[in-house]
Amino acid sequence: MRKFFVGLGNPGSEYEHTRHNIGFLLVDRIANAHSVGGGAWKEKFSASFMDVSIEGERVTLVKPQSYMNRSGEPLQQLMEFFKIPSDEIVIIHDEVDLPFGTVRLKLGGGEGGHNGLKSISSRLGTKQYLRLRLGVGRPPVHQDESSGREFTEQELSGWVLGRFGNEEARHIETFLDNGIDALRSYLKYGLKRAQNEVHSK
């Protein structure tokens, strides 16, 4: 059974290399290294997709092109078209509740305010799907503010829609490669062992 690796992001040049588009960045990096037979992206149901081979497994990379808060619509249509059950997908997304550079595999759970995950859970009718969570951290707190305060929705939105800082940009390729290694481990050894390997780093 083929797997779907679904990178979340927003289409358009103005969103390239923003924190919210790290899912796009990761699947693009996989595509560059593992594309099969020339590996052109195809378009269907407002999504870009490409078949690749990783660890001997057939994987379809998917980038919904419907904007983040409607990611579930094209994904649901592609899954129905290719007859892919929800337990064969991995959603790759930015995670503000993890420090920058942190990689985690998680099955099910809440959406943590992530509109892409909310859309997917709503359209699929379940939260029981695998996520590759890529930490982008939260906005830095000014020294004169309480470190325990909650960030407003506007502050978080501006943060994830912003581009990576210079220090982050220097480490982004290593970060993405660590995410790809986590997916390789999942394909090769299964979720439990992959989680043990990834979460011990």
Active site residues: 20
Strands (E), the chain: 3-7, 42-44, 47-54, 57-64, 89-95, 103-107, 130-135
CA angle, residues 162, 76, 78, in degrees to nearest 5: 95
| Residue from 115, 62, 109, 70 nearest 89 by CA | 62
N-to-C CA span, the chain:
30
β-bridge pairing 3-7 and 57-64:
parallel
**Cβ–Cβ under 8 Å, residues 39 and 23:** no
